[in-house]
């Protein structure tokens, strides 16, 4: 987080004035990032709780909704994200080995994966819109020939959960671009890569949330 | 230590650099604390003026100074401003920011930039919230209950997003405090040597981090409900409006402890210092803060006894709610035991702390009453509830904020305030407070509902008394404001330790230097070693 060096101590030790050492700052930053991840998980947790409540009340409606999703697209996206988690981790690994070029390469691939994910999402969304599968009150039950009067709610959940997740993917891509830029500029090395690791943790959590979303929305029922 | 820059003894955090820009970009936790101080006081003034208007309207039956619609709006803004912009950020963001690092012997909070960002979040949220005053003023009450909040044609979305952003601010402050307490304690400062104010802030920070995200998603869902009609809260689409209440109170009940725990922290400091005695039961007070924080997550259902939740749930929530009384009572007894046989000094911070004990006791006991399911069925949404939560929030938290301001004023600004006017402000606030809110218990028991702008003539005299009381409180706060301004401009130079306190802040200059201490402190004993 706070990465400005307070002193002219040379390039190895990057730490702000209120820490004892670079290591101290690194551990503190990491704790901060994990705490922030807790809040992210809890926020999605609210959605999952809502999902499970209504899934209990209307199991057939969720089954019907899941059927109109294309699990192949969802599955592809799952693979894409898992792969991107790997490249993200590689990026950090290469920085630890002082191989900035390879690290930059890995980060770039991670961003590309994020982009592929979003493009697939885009096709999924537009296809749904085309079929008239809108959220909540915008879904015309008669027009789409839905079995369940509340099918709109399923799509309410679908768009809320994947939408919020998608926003996180975009945010992650932005953050990775920022550390990629700094990697290319030569800000990081085996002594200092806190920001990359923080962004990496964020990216892994976003992936993890998708790994829960995919079966719940596409497969259950 | 990289910081070899020598500080002349006349250099402190206030005059280290100058100009408005140096404040708006500062990373110094003390300056950020002062920025919160100024802005939150401004919000308090606005919310206070609205309170006076509400009370004026309620002085006589029938329309007095406003229409029913206007009343609903003023009441909504009063509640929302007081909760989201005054009481929740109040103590942690102002006094916590200023003193938490000093209390543990740190140079700053763990993430200074995040700290500044959190102030900007509060400002952005507040601006957004106030912008609704110029569009469609919202009238849902600060709780935004569905289904009304979905149907009403007012700026609910803007307001809710504003609350979301202010929630971000609260999360960032909490996260920063947790990391600071874990990682930045001075050598020798074990967890059992940190002052109780820090324990209180630490427990609060846990609540801020764990509860606020749930409010975040609740508010986002409400936004989506309004814009896309997702149907989760809308019965017409198979949704459940009461689910909103579950979500909302899962945050907002812990949030009432975000409001009160830091106040208890201040009271612990003030009572220890002004009794000249080691605090009685340090660990018990520390753990009871954590205990309160923990239990607070399982009691939200007491806000919903009449919302049609099952009887079993009602009984369970009723029982668990009463459990909160245990750690609270532990604190109360420890404070009293600390004062027992101490050389108690009645300076104004101590007066406010005693005022806290008295008023919070009433607020707490009526809270236990409301936790009793059959009693709440009677008192739900009556003025009894209004009196109860004002006793807790105003009688508790606000008293503690005032006491804390006076207690730390010499340290923060290096000036003494006028003790006579400070005590006068206490007298007016304390008496005015009881005159305002005690009659509301009676009104509630007589059946006067809350959130109405009109009432039957039988309730008139008590309402009139209550309104007069609100003017006394206002006078008290104006005297307090005068005391602060007078102290800032004309106050005598404060010594390092005017009250004989034992915690770390009293060992550094008043006002403290930029990095808090000229030499990093090494801690060898607990925080309240009197005798
Ligand atoms: C200082 C003098 C104050 C007075 C005279 C006052 C008066 C009132 C009145 C008359 C209401 C309307 C009650 C109803 O009909 O339900 C109200 C509501 C409320 N007040 Fe205050 N108040 C004061 C201070 C505060 C403070 C400091 C807080 C801080 C937490 C606060 C929080 C609230 C809340 C949360 C509501 C509920 C609003 C709603 O239901 O939407 N008040 N107040
Ligand atoms: Cu509650």
pLDDT band at B526 (very low <50, low <70, confident <90, very high): confident
Q: Among A7-16, A195-204, B324-333, B453-462, which stretch is predicted with the lowest mean pLDDT? A: A7-16
Average pLDDT of B212-217? 94
Please report the pLDDT score of residue B490 as a whole number.
93
Residue with CA at minimum distance from ligand 1 atom 4 = B51
Q: Among B14-28, B106-120, B436-450, which stretch is predicted with the lowest mean pLDDT? A: B14-28
Shortest distance between the Cα of B233 and any Cα of chain A, in A, equals 10
Give A145-161 pLDDT, tens digit per residue.
778 888 888 899 999 99
Nearest Cα neighbor of B177 from B152, B147, B199 is B199
Give B287-332 pLDDT, tens digit per residue.
999 999 999 999 999 999 988 888 899 999 999 999 999 999 999 9
For ligand 1, whether the C-beta of B436 sits within 6 Å is yes
Please report the pLDDT score of residue B162 as a whole number.
96
Which residues have C-beta within 8 Å of that of residue B3, sequence separation ≥ 6? A6, A17, B107, B515
Residue with CA at minimum distance from ligand 1 atom 40 = B141
3-state SS track over chain A? CCCCCCCCCCCCCCCCCCCCCHHHHHHHHHHHHHHHHHHHHHHHHHHHHHHHHHHHHCHHHHHHHHHCCCHHHHHHHHHHHHHHHHHHHHHHHHHHCCCHHHHHHHHHHHHHHHHHHHHHHHHHHHHHHHHCCCCHHHCCHHHHCCCCCCHHHHHHHHHHHHHHHHHHHHHHHHHHHHHHHHHHHCCCECCECHHHHHHHHHHHHHHHHHHHHHHHHHHCC
Which residue pairs, CB below 8 angstroms and at least 24 apart, start in B306-312?
Answer: B306/B376, B306/B377, B306/B380, B307/B242, B307/B245, B308/B242, B309/B242
Task: Please list every residue in chain A whose beta carbon sits closer than 8 Å to the beta carbon of residue B110.
Answer: 2, 18, 28, 31-32
Give B220-270 pLDDT, tens digit per residue.
999 999 988 888 998 888 889 899 999 999 999 999 999 999 999 999 999
Q: Please give the residue that has the higher pLDDT: either B19 or A105.
A: A105
Q: Under an 8 A CB cutoff, do A38 and B209 touch?
A: yes
- Work out how many CB contacts closer than 8 A connect A with B: 144
Please report the pLDDT score of residue A135 as a whole number.
86
Residues with CB in 5 Å of ion ligand 2: B 253
Which residues have C-beta within 8 Å of that of residue A212, sequence separation ≥ 6? A48
Please report the pLDDT score of residue B72 as a whole number.
95
pLDDT band at B471 (very low <50, low <70, confident <90, very high): very high
Q: Which of residues 212-251 of B touch A (CB under 8 A)?
A: 212-214, 216-218, 220-221, 224-225, 228-232, 234, 236-240, 243, 247
Please report the pLDDT score of residue B91 as a whole number.
96
Task: Please list every residue in chain B whose beta carbon sits closer than 8 Å to the beta carbon of residue A153.
Answer: 230-232, 237-239
pLDDT band at A12 (very low <50, low <70, confident <90, very high): low
- Determine contact, residues B438/B388, Cβ cutoff 8 Å: no
Please report the pLDDT score of residue A7 as a whole number.
39
Mean pLDDT of chain B: 93
3-state SS track over B74-126? HHHHHHHHHHHHHHHHHHHHHHHHHHHHHHCCCCCCCCHHHHHHHHHHHHHHH
Check whether B1 has a pLDDT greater than 80: no
Shortest distance between the Cα of B183 and any Cα of chain A, in A, equals 6
Check whether A183 has a pLDDT greater than 90: yes
Residue with CA at minimum distance from ligand 1 atom 41 = B141
Check whether B456 has a pLDDT greater than 70: yes
Ligand with smallest separation from the Cα of B88? 1
Please report the pLDDT score of residue B432 as a whole number.
97
Cα(A156)–Cα(B232) distance, integer angstroms: 8
CA angle (B260 as vertex; B402, B267 as ends), nearest 5: 50
Please report the pLDDT score of residue B287 as a whole number.
95
Check whether B108 has a pLDDT greater than 70: yes
pLDDT band at B531 (very low <50, low <70, confident <90, very high): low
Kindly tell me the sign of the dihedral angle through the C-alpha atoms of B418, B419, B424, B426.
positive
For ligand 1, whether the C-beta of B107 sits within 6 Å is no
What 8-state DSSP symbol labels residue B398? I
> Would an 8 Å CB–CB cutoff place B178 in contact with chain A?
yes
Q: Under an 8 A CB cutoff, do B214 and A28 touch?
A: no
For helices B419-446 and B383-390, what crossing angle results, to 10°? 160
Cα nearest neighbour of B115 on chain A: A2
ipTM: 0.90
Which residues have C-beta within 8 Å of that of residue B253, sequence separation ≥ 6? B296, B297, B299, B300, B302, B303
Give B397-444 pLDDT, tens digit per residue.
999 999 999 999 999 999 999 999 999 999 999 999 999 999 999 999
Please report the pLDDT score of residue A221 as a whole number.
62
Please report the pLDDT score of residue A13 as a whole number.
52
Both structure tokens of B91: 């103590």
For ligand 1, whether the C-beta of B258 sits within 6 Å is no
- Determine contact, residues B253/B293, Cβ cutoff 8 Å: no
Check whether B8 has a pLDDT greater than 50: no
B252 CA from centroid of ligand 2 (Å): 7
pTM score, whole prediction: 0.92
Which residue pairs, CB below 8 angstroms and at least 24 apart, start in B74-78?
Answer: B74/B50, B75/B50, B75/B141, B75/B451, B76/B137, B76/B138, B76/B139, B76/B140, B76/B141, B76/B142, B77/B47, B77/B50, B77/B133, B77/B137, B77/B138, B78/B47, B78/B50, B78/B51, B78/B54
Given B106, B183, B210, which is nearest A42 (Cβ)?
B210
């Amino acid at each position: 987080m706070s990465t400005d060096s307070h002193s002219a101590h040379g390039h190895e030790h990057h730490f702000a004035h209120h820490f004892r050492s670079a290591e101290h700052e690194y551990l503190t930053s990491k704790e901060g990032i994990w705490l922030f991840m807790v809040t992210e998980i809890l926020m999605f947790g609210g959605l999952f709780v809502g999902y499970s409540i209504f899934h209990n009340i209307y199991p057939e409606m969720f089954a019907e909704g899941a059927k109109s999703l294309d699990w192949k697209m969802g599955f592809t996206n799952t693979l894409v994200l898992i792969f991107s988690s790997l490249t993200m981790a590689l990026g950090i690994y290469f920085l630890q080995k002082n191989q900035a070029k390879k690290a930059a390469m890995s980060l770039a691939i991670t961003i590309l994966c994020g982009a592929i994910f979003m493009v697939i999402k885009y096709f999924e969304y537009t296809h749904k819109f085309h079929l008239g599968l809108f959220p909540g009150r915008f879904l015309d039950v008669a027009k789409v020939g839905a079995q369940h009067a509340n099918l709109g709610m399923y799509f309410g959940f679908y768009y809320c959960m994947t939408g919020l997740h998608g926003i996180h993917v975009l945010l992650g891509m932005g953050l990775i671009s920022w550390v990629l830029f700094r990697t290319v500029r030569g800000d990081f090395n085996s002594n200092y890569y806190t920001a990359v690791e923080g962004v990496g943790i964020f990216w892994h959590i976003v992936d993890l949330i998708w790994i829960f979303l995919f079966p719940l929305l596409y497969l259950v029922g | 230590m990289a910081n070899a820059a020598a500080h002349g003894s006349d250099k402190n955090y206030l005059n280290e650099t100058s100009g408005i820009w140096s404040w708006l970009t500062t990373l110094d936790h003390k300056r950020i604390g002062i920025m919160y101080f100024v802005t939150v006081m401004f919000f308090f003034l606005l919310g206070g003026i609205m309170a006076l208007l509400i009370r004026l309207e309620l002085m006589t039956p029938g329309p007095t100074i406003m229409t029913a619609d206007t009343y609903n709006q003023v009441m909504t803004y009063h509640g929302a401003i007081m909760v989201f912009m005054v009481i929740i950020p109040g103590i942690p963001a102002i006094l916590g920011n200023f003193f938490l690092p000093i209390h543990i012997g740190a140079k700053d909070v763990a993430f200074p930039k995040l700290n500044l960002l959190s102030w900007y979040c509060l400002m952005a949220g507040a601006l957004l919230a106030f912008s609704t005053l110029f569009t469609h003023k919202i009238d849902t009450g600060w709780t935004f209950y569905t289904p009304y909040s979905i149907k009403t044609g007012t700026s609910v979305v803007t307001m809710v997003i504003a609350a979301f952003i202010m929630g971000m601010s609260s999360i960032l402050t909490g996260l920063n405090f947790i990391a600071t307490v874990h990682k930045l304690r001075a050598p020798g400062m074990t967890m059992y040597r940190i002052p109780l104010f820090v324990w209180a802030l630490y427990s609060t920070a846990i609540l801020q981090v764990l509860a606020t995200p749930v409010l975040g998603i609740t508010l986002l869902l409400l936004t989506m409900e309004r814009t896309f009609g997702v149907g989760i809260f809308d019965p017409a689409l198979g949704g459940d409006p009461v689910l909103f209440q579950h979500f909302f109170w899962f945050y907002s009940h812990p949030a009432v402890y975000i409001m009160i725990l830091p106040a208890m922290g201040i009271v612990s400091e003030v009572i220890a210092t002004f009794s000249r005695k080691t605090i009685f039961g340090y660990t018990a007070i520390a753990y009871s803060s954590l205990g309160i924080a923990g239990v607070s997550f399982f009691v939200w259902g007491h806000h919903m006894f009449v919302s049609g939740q099952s009887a079993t749930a009602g009984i369970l929530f009723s029982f668990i709610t009463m459990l909160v009384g245990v750690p609270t009572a532990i604190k109360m007894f420890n404070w009293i035991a600390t004062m027992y046989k101490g050389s108690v000094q009645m300076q104004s911070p101590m007066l406010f702390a005693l005022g806290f004990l008295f008023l919070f006791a009433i607020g707490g006991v009526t809270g236990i009453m409301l936790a009793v399911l059959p009693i709440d069925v009677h008192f739900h949404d009556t003025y009894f509830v209004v009196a109860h939560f004002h006793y807790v929030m105003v009688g508790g938290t606000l008293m503690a904020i005032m006491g804390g301001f006076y207690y730390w004023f010499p340290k923060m600004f290096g000036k003494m305030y006028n003790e006579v006017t400070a005590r006068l402000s206490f007298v007016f606030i304390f008496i005015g407070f009881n005159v305002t809110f005690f009659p509301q218990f009676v009104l509630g028991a007589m059946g006067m509902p809350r959130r109405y702008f009109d009432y039957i003539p039988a309730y008139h005299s008590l309402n009139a008394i209550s309104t007069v009381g609100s003017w006394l409180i206002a006078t008290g706060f104006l005297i307090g404001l005068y005391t602060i301004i007078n102290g800032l401009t004309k106050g005598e130079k404060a010594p390092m330790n005017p009250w004989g306190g034992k915690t770390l802040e009293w060992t550094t200059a008043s006002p403290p230097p930029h990095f808090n201490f000229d030499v990093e402190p090494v801690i060898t004993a607990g925080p309240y070693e009197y005798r």
